[in-house]
Chain A
Amino acid sequence: MIKFDEVHKRFPNGTTAVHDLSLEMPEGQITVLVGSSGCGKTTTLRMINRMVDPTSGTIRLAGKDILESDAADLRRGIGYVIQQSGLFPHRTVLDNVATVPLLLGWGRKKARSRAAELLETVGLAADAGKRYPHQLSGGQQQRVGVARALAADPPVLLMDEPFGAVDPVVRTQLQDELLRLQKDLAKTIVFVTHDIDEAVRLGDRIAVFRTGGHLVQCAEPAELLARPADDFVADFLGAERGLKLLSLSTLAGLPQGPAPEGGRWELALDSARKPLGWRDGDAAADSPLLPVRALRDGDSLLSAVNESIASPAGLVARVDADGVLTGVTARAEIHDHAGEAHISAGAAA
């Protein structure tokens, strides 16, 4: 666990980057620091591995004041992933990943075999190891950055806008991968971003910062979205914060009925009973099916609301893990449920 106690950081030029910050980052969880630029979130992150030292206050890592440790030793025990990966252009991917093990004196052979293992963990092909960073795509470089941070199996991972420079599709993939890894690894992760959607997606807790280094609110995503502490937080969460909240609940538990028969809209299925599309009974027999996006129980309520609007029949097709139709849920049912989810999130907070 990382604990900030009345931490203040003023730079020599007089600007206050972090103002009296008291904050806990729980063990094994992802704490996201979010805010617009100049709000002190990156400075806060960099104080944890002593890239920046606080002007006053204490930061404890597993109960120990970090100022008492040697900075280099401390850093070797903390994984660090930065924007645009920060990989060493002159080292192969494998040697990049092996950096910290080599610093820890593991020996080249052991460090490299550990690095090769990690490339696999983050979903890279083994032959990527022999390449140089510029030979990889932006998304692959970020994966290498994550592998490098994990190399010595540190309990704490600091991530400074690690997925900021990749396109949205790749970013979503990387976010999914991080969540998948975190399920197995349970690291204490501090993640900086200015993207509130990313914060909601990844964070177990979200700390919202305001310009001048003030922490405005730190809460679980549902609580933050349902009950923003003030107008600043509400504005930052954006006009769609109600919809964002729906991204946190799933379809599981929502009742479903049989697929419609005999009406204008019928759900076309293949031989394995997987939905193919909506058939319009009023249209010519050979007209194409309208697209259907069938949802599983684990999909979010937000995607269900979206599909309920997109579906011509006003029905959401539900499938099991294999993609086989289990039933349909009506638009009204989904919207009622979404409203209740919103109210209960607010009440729980």
Chain B
Amino acid sequence: MTIEWGWFPDHIDEMTRLTADHLSTALSAVFFGLLIALPLAVIAHRFRPLRGFVLGLSNILYTIPSIALFVLLLPVTGLTRTTAVVGITAYTLVVLVRNTVEGLDTVPAKAREASTAMGAKPLRTLFTVELPLALPVIMAGVRVATVMSISLVSVASAIGQGGLGQLFIDGFQRDFPTLVIAGVALTLLLALVADAVLVTVQWLATPWTHKRGA
């Protein structure tokens, strides 16, 4: 297997475009995943009996093979990016819902009680006390979901929405390993960079977790 290094400088535009597509599909999925997971998790956390049901449902979604899920969505959304985003969103739920519920579990009862006792209404307590304190665990979920989505976008090549995954497909079809290597390397790089950005965001958003003790 030889790599044709000359291919790279000639295809910077294409690589940039595919990377941007890839990232935007993955991030959209994580964004919509959070939009769905947060309320679901809050409800599952508040009403204990619903917890098993909600977590079970997100687990079941996760067990559907990704290709099958894209195919199932085809009649509804067609060969569009929407299909890819909807499919991947469904997969992010398993970590996002679970981590949000577990994050809310880590909120000290005293902090929640103090907020209520000082006259904060439930929604205010949720946004100003519970979610901020659950943030480290939620962010851990967001990191997993993001890396997972970045890898799943390639699978959506099957419906022509694979981002960098398009490079593997082309590489295999044309028996041109350089493309496969380029696709793998860029996907990996993208995942690493995205994770590093999230770690930084979390560090900045949770100053209380890394200040020295008394």
Contact = CB atoms under 8 A, between A and B. Distances in A.
Interface of A: 49, 51, 72-77, 80, 82-91, 99-100, 103, 131-132, 134-137, 148
Contacts, number: 71
Contacts of B211: 131-132, 134-135
The DSSP consensus for interface residues of chain B is helix
A103 B111 contact: no
Given A83-B110, A132-B208, A89 B117 contact: no
B114 A76 contact: no
Interface in B51-88: none
Contacts of A72: 119-121
A90 B214 contact: no
B130 to A, nearest CB: 10
Interface in B197-214: 206-208, 211-214
A75 B212 CA distance: 33
B119 A86 contact: no
Given A49-B117, A80-B118, A82-B113, A89 B214 contact: no
A207 to B, nearest CB: 21
A316 B71 CA distance: 95
A80 B212 contact: no
15 contacts: A51-B113, A51-B117, A76-B119, A80-B117, A80-B118, A82-B117, A86-B110, A87-B111, A88-B111, A90-B133, A100-B119, A103-B124, A132-B211, A134-B214, A137-B214
A103 B120 contact: yes
Given A131-B211, A134-B214, A135-B213, A90 B206 contact: yes
Contact of A135 (B111, B114, B118, B214): B214
Contacts of B129: 88, 90
A223 to B, nearest CB: 32
A228 to B, nearest CB: 33
A90 B205 CA distance: 10
A36 to B, nearest CB: 22
Interface in B178-214: 206-208, 211-214
Given A83-B110, A84-B110, A86-B111, A134 B208 contact: yes
B165 to A, nearest CB: 39
Q: Which 4 A-B pairs have the closest CB atoms?
A: A76-B119, A75-B119, A86-B114, A86-B110
Interface string B124-154: 1000010011000000000000000000000
A143 to B, nearest CB: 13
Contact of B213 (A73, A90, A91, A134): A134
Interface of B: 108, 110-111, 113-121, 124, 129, 132-133, 206-208, 211-214
Contacts of A49: 117
A102 B108 CA distance: 22
A105 to B, nearest CB: 12
A135 B208 CA distance: 9
Contacts of B212: 135
B208 A100 contact: no
Nearest to B117: A80
Given A82-B114, A136-B214, A89 B108 contact: yes
Contacts of B111: 86-89
Contacts of B110: 82-86
Contacts of A132: 207-208, 211
A88 to B, nearest CB: 5
Given A88-B114, A90-B129, 6 more contacts: A73-B119, A82-B117, A85-B110, A103-B118, A103-B119, A131-B211
Contacts of A103: 118-120, 124
Nearest to B110: A86
B119 to A, nearest CB: 3
Contacts of A80: 114, 117-118
Contacts of B114: 80, 82, 86-88
Nearest to A76: B119
Nearest to B122: A72
B117 A88 contact: no
A96 B207 CA distance: 15
Contacts of A82: 110, 113-114, 117
Contacts of B120: 72, 99, 103
A100 B118 contact: yes
A136 B212 CA distance: 10
A88 B108 CA distance: 9
Contacts of B214: 134-137
Point out which of A73, A88, A136 has the most chain B C-beta atoms below 10 A from its C-beta: A88
B106 to A, nearest CB: 11
Given A82-B110, A135-B213, A136-B214, A90 B208 contact: yes
A72 B133 CA distance: 22
B199 to A, nearest CB: 18
A162 to B, nearest CB: 12
